[in-house]
Amino acid sequence: MANSTHSAVVRLRSLRDLLAGIPFPLAIDRAERARDARDHLVHQLDDYVLPRYERLDAPLLAVVGGSTGAGKSTLVNSLLGVDVAASSAIRPTTRRPLLLHHPAESSWFEDDRILPSLARVRVAPDAPPTPASSDPAVHSELEIRSTRGLPQGLAIIDAPDIDSIVNENRQVAAQLLAAADLWLFVTTAARYADAVPWDLLRDAASRNTVVAIILDRVPPEVVDEVRTDLRRRLVEAGLAEAPLFTIEESVLDGDHLPEDQVAPIRQWLGSLAADATSRSRVARQTLLGAVGSVLGNAADVGEAAQQQVVARDTLRTRVVEAEEEALRRLGSATADGSLLRGEVLARWQEFVGTGDFFRSVEAQVGRIRDRVSAFVRGAPAPTEPVEAAIEEGLLTLLEAETQRAVADVDHAWRFEGGGRDLLAEALRELPTEARLRGEASRHVVEWQDGLLAMVREEGADRRFTARMLSLGVNGLGIALMITILASTGGVITGGELAAAGGTAVVGQKLLEAVFGEDAVRRMAKQARARLNEHGEQLLEWYLTPFTAALDGLGIDPDVRARVDAAIADVRAAQAEGGLE
């Protein structure tokens, strides 16, 4: 029994740590609700399930909860026969929860075994009730005092209103109710049908929590009518076995309820506290229900966490799609001859000859090899202007397509769940236009240098005639660039010829005259692949802020499987006898 209980506690603690570490950073559907559910589960495990699992022999903890003005604090004072809780007509009265216990059981409540998130404030047994305070710190504190008005084996918490106008009061009330072995739910003849209490009562029923209902301030003439209706509602809510106590509307005895009205409640609580079997039954019933609820809700949290994975992956897909589309556009723009216009065309024409030469070439494509041989007999023109024009053309294209990719991501993320909030962060981290231009220029230059190196390497294994060598490595490299920018496969086809004309054909035929058609095709294919690689590297670099924003979310892609496995581990421990 001890070993199996220890195993259950270890596995519950692992589940608790796993849940606590699940982020919900993307503002998608259910995210806020999932965060609240996660926090509630962690609190419930810390405040009740783990400490109760570890010490089933600890005193029962009964939480007195209910609606605003139901008379919870007055009931507590009346049960104890001494004023320990502040009661007032000013609402809300109870802001800092009050835990009361028998003096002999102080050791159970000195440390943070239960409700560890609330700071302890020890009050002397004979101190007057602590007045209500508007200090926000009281919501994170737990006042503790001992009293001989309680029997050993039972502690009581006077909780804030479940429907308080103060949000912190409602949150603390819910936290305390989740930490209770037993609920003393206080309502009135005027308020018992309110929606908020019944939402909580139905939740308690679903978790098999032990609940006692105290119907306060009931006019004597309608006691039977109200009790009958309330009992019907309890049956419908799954609380048919819940004890129902009625306190009739009457004149207070000082600040306390008449003794005959509270005596049945005190006797019932006393009988639970005095009988170890009864205490154990209540603790086990509520604990088993709480564990079952935790496991079911943990699965829901795991499912919601998986939706974060899906949303993140969708945002990442939009980045990948923008990059792929930009690469497709780059591939088209560097293969359809569109770059062989304007400055590039002018400088290339200057390099290879006059317009008359081109007209002659275009008219006699079938005799181009002879024209090439005649062309290379003389000293070629300088290559720098052509190289610079090609570099500038490619640079402008890379910049434009990279920025367009960012615009595509921007548009997509604005309409994807969670993307809008990340977008501003990513855009702030984008490199400046100057850095983009510098990086794009580096890639173009590296590509050109690599292409020249490839030409040089190809020529090292061949014996060129002096006339062919007169064109030089740079000239041949430029011819290869021109061929690539006008063709998709390394050899200009009929359609590409119509687009590029003799401009690119001259470059191709120059290369074929030197290297042969197969070598030209192979070099062009390699050079185009390397150009694509540089474009891809530039895009990945520039889009890094988007991928970094996604990577920084801390979302575990296997989160649902891990939660499911942790739940299965707890169930296995229970099956082994962890709570029998």
Q: Looking at the domain assignment, is residue 128 inside a domain? A: no
Same domain, residue pair 268 and 351:
no
Half-sphere exposure of 99 (CA within 13 A, CB side): 28
Whether residue 129 is contained in a domain is answered as no
CB pairs under 8 A, 24+ apart, for 271-277? 272/60, 272/153, 272/154, 272/182, 273/59, 273/60, 273/150, 273/151, 273/152, 273/153, 273/154, 274/151, 274/153, 276/153
**In a shared domain, residues 222 and 152:** yes
* Cα–Cα dist 100/64, whole Å: 11
User: Which of 251, 274, 297 is the endpoint of a domain?
Assistant: 274
Q: Is residue 102 part of a domain?
A: no
Q: Are residues 82 and 172 in the same domain?
A: yes
What was the pLDDT predicted at 500?
46
Residues 53, 8 contacting (CB under 8 angstroms): yes
Written as six digits, the tokens of 564 are: 């499911």
In this structure, the answer to whether residues 387 and 521 fall within a common structural domain is: yes
Does residue 391 form part of some domain?
yes
Give the Cβ contact number of residue 80 at 10 Å: 19
CB-based contacts of 324, cutoff 8 Å, min separation 6: none
Helix residue spans in 237-377 (DSSP H) = 259-274, 276-333, 342-352, 355-363, 368-375
**263 and 341 in one domain?**
no
Could you give the CA distance from residue 84 to residue 126 in angstroms, rounded to a whole number?
8
3-class DSSP state of 57: coil
Question: Could you tell me which residues come within 8 angstroms of residue 90 by beta carbon, excluding any fewer than 6 positions away?
Answer: 132
Query: H helices then E strands: how many in the chain?
Result: 23, 8
Same domain, yes or no: 254 and 397: no
Residues 364 and 513 in one domain: yes
> At how many degrees (to 10) do helices 2-20 and 31-44 cross?
150
Query: Does residue 475 form part of some domain?
Result: yes
Secondary structure element (H or E) that encloses residue 141, with its range: strand 141-146
- Beta pairing partners, 90: none
> Could you tell me if 269 and 370 lie in one domain?
no
Give the span between the Cα atoms of 213 and 243, in whole angstroms: 6
Identify whether the C-beta of residue 430 lies closer than 8 Å to the C-beta of residue 406. yes
Centroid of chain to Cα 463: 64
Q: Which domain holds residue 522?
A: 334-555
Q: How far is 127 from 109, CA to CA, in rounded Å?
A: 18
| pLDDT score at 502 | 55
E-assigned strand segments in 8-88 = 60-66
| 10 domain residue, yes or no | no
In this structure, the answer to whether residues 407 and 270 fall within a common structural domain is: no
User: Looking up tokens 């409700």, which residue turns up?
Assistant: 115
Please count the other Cβ atoms lying within 10 Å of the Cβ belonging to residue 396.
14
Q: Which residues does the chain have with pLDDT short of 50?
A: 89-92, 354-379, 465-470, 490, 494-501
CB 413 within 8 A of CB 550: no
What is the C-alpha separation between 174 and 40, in angstroms, rounded? 9
* CATH number (domain holding residue 187): 3.40.50.300
Is 543 domain-assigned?
A: yes
Contact between 207 and 293 (Cβ < 8 Å):
yes
Could you give the strand order of the β-sheet that contains 244-248, starting from the edge strand earlier in sequence?
119-122, 141-146, 98-101, 154-158, 60-66, 182-188, 210-218, 244-248
Instruction: Count CA atoms within 13 Å of residue 175 on its CB side.
Output: 26
Residue 306 CA to residue 47 CA, distance in Å, equals 27
Residue 128, both tokens: 């007057």
Same domain membership, residue 541 and residue 445 = yes
Rounded-to-integer distance, Cα 173 and Cα 67, Å: 10
- Which residue reads 């309608």 in tokens? 222
pLDDT confidence of residue 223: 93
Q: Are residues 81 and 212 in the same domain?
A: yes
Report pLDDT digits (tens) over 156-193. 999 988 888 888 888 888 888 888 999 999 999 888 88
Indicate if 229 and 369 belong to the same structural domain: no
**Phi, psi angles (nearest 5°) of residue 216:** -100, 155
Q: Using the 8-state DSSP alphabet, how is residue 67 labeled?
A: S
Q: How many domains, in total, are found in the chain? A: 2
Please tell me the total number of residues recorded for the chain in this structure.
Answer: 580
Neighbours of 374 (CB within 10 A): 12
Asked if residue 401 is part of any domain, the answer here is: yes
Reduced to 3 states (helix: H, G, I; strand: E, B; else coil), residue 447 is helix
Q: Which three-class secondary structure state does DSSP give residue 486?
A: coil
Proportion of the chain in helix, strand, coil states, percent, rounded to 5: 65, 10, 30
